[in-house]
Chains A and B, each alone.
Chain A
Amino acid sequence: MTRISLSVDGASVSDDVEPRMLLVQYLRERLGKTGTVIGCDTSNCGACTVHLNGTSVKSCNVLAVQADGAEVTTIEGLAKDGKLHAVQESFRECHGLQCGFCTPGMIMQSVDLLKENPTPSEEEIRLGLEGNLCRCTGYHNIVRAVQHASGQAVNS
């Protein structure tokens, strides 16, 4: 067992974990943060995307011990005081989801993308989200949601 201390969605946590425990497992099984989902389990689909020290990572491809000392934000930490994050609002407004399974990862990656590039072109949105797969293939509305969140005109 290895002792880890980190911040998750603004709360300090400390735990003894097996070194082989994945960050996504730690979030879901120890902390009950099941908003972060496991999609492909092969680091392809991006459904498990969270922010580690402010940048997006696939939490199925990070060990919990590697997050020792870090600040983690999950989809559950985006809303503040009961008010959805602007990107969450946009996904709802533009219906940027079908089954909804890829949505937590899509939103976390979109927040990261908009932080680096506040007004991305359609191509930049598609490239920025290339590590996130939507198996319903609902990409058009996801792109629209990111355009809407960035205050740009939305594709018709």
Chain B
Amino acid sequence: MIPAAFDYVAPTTVEDALAALAQYGDEAKIIAGGQSLLPVLRMRLNAPEWIIDLGKIESLRGIRDDGDAIVIGAMTPHSVVGSDPLVAEHAGLISKAVEHLADAQVRHRGTFGGALAHADPAGDLGAPALALGAQFVIAGSGGTRTVAADDFFVDLFETAIGEDEILTEVRIPKHTGWGACYEKFVRVAHQWPIVAVAATVKVDGGTISEARIGLTNMGSTPIRARAVEEALAGQSLSEDVVRAAAAKAADGANPPSDLNGDADYRRHLATVLTRRAVVAATGG
């Protein structure tokens, strides 16, 4: 399957990419690693007239320590994020989620920013980014702005990134010393999760001081399991406490029904996976 014909431009700076976007507007699509976009183009579900390739913009790649946050360039491949020691130390939840994202070939090519901008509710990075309170740095013709994770995911495949804007980097507040687990349920290897739970928990002397839980594929966007977070905070760590808290995982969620499972099945899965994720994140 071959995509419909398009014209192609590969700028070397963010400014040039923004200029191309301003010029071609609605007719253009941005390509990062292309691991989600190319299948869409090949199946002709979309046929943009222009493709703007960010692959030659070196400034969008790389990971750096910025004091209280780790900053991941939007074009950094998953494989680089997954093996980065800074990410593992300060945002372990991201490392855990990347480890089993798609397959090795896709992790070499797919990018951190591209996957988040694509905003597939079954994508593996949205829930961890939400749980860690990531901040999204978005460049436009008027300069850059920063959007909090709570405001970034708008709807199915829709984010706060405007049509004339580009996601340039993602700031992850450091969660040094927090335990983390990404518990993903799939029917077939290297597929999207039917449901997944991203949990990161801080335990001090046997007491849970704070827990942050994100859910994948439990609605049209990644969501926080706030009832679980509240039920865990301040409690002494025990199996009963985790079990009772995890039972609230699907509170307020509106999961989809499809061939992999109906909404009730997903609600049940969310409670089971949340329990497993919190147990693993707290060293159980």
Contact = CB atoms under 8 A, between A and B. Distances in A.
B105 A56 contact: yes
B106 A62 contact: no
Given A2-B8, A19-B6, A20-B6, A62 B109 contact: yes
B1 A58 contact: no
Contact of B38 (A2, A43, A46): A43
Given A55-B108, A112-B104, A62 B1 contact: no
Given A41-B1, A55-B108, A131-B190, A65 B8 contact: yes
Given A41-B1, A66-B55, A130-B103, A61 B108 contact: no
B7 A42 contact: no
Contact of B34 (A18, A44, A63, A68): A63
Interface residues of B, number: 31
Contact of A109 (B5, B10, B39, B104): B104
A113 interface: yes
State the main secondary structure of chain A at its contact with B.
Answer: mixed
A128 B104 CA distance: 7
Interface in A85-144: 109, 112-113, 127-128, 130-132
Contact of A58 (B7, B31, B106): B106
A66 B39 CA distance: 15
A119 to B, nearest CB: 17
A61 B35 contact: yes
Interface string B25-68: 00000010011001101110000000101010000000000000
A39 to B, nearest CB: 13
| B3, B8, B39, B51: residue with the most chain A Cβ atoms closer than 10 Å | B8
Nearest to A68: B10
Contacts of A131: 102-106, 190
Interface in A34-68: 41-44, 46, 49, 52, 55-58, 61-63, 65-66, 68
Contacts of B34: 61-63, 66
A57 B79 CA distance: 12
B7 A61 contact: no
Contact of A19 (B51, B79, B102, B189): B51
A25 interface: yes
| A22, A62, A66: residue with the most chain B Cβ atoms closer than 10 Å | A66
A21 B5 CA distance: 9
B259 interface: no
Given A43-B39, A130-B190, A66 B2 contact: no
Contact of B104 (A41, A62, A113): A113
B38 A61 contact: yes
Nearest to A55: B108
B241 interface: no
Q: Lowest 7 A-B CB distances belong to which pairs? A: A131-B103, A19-B8, A55-B108, A130-B189, A20-B3, A130-B190, A58-B105
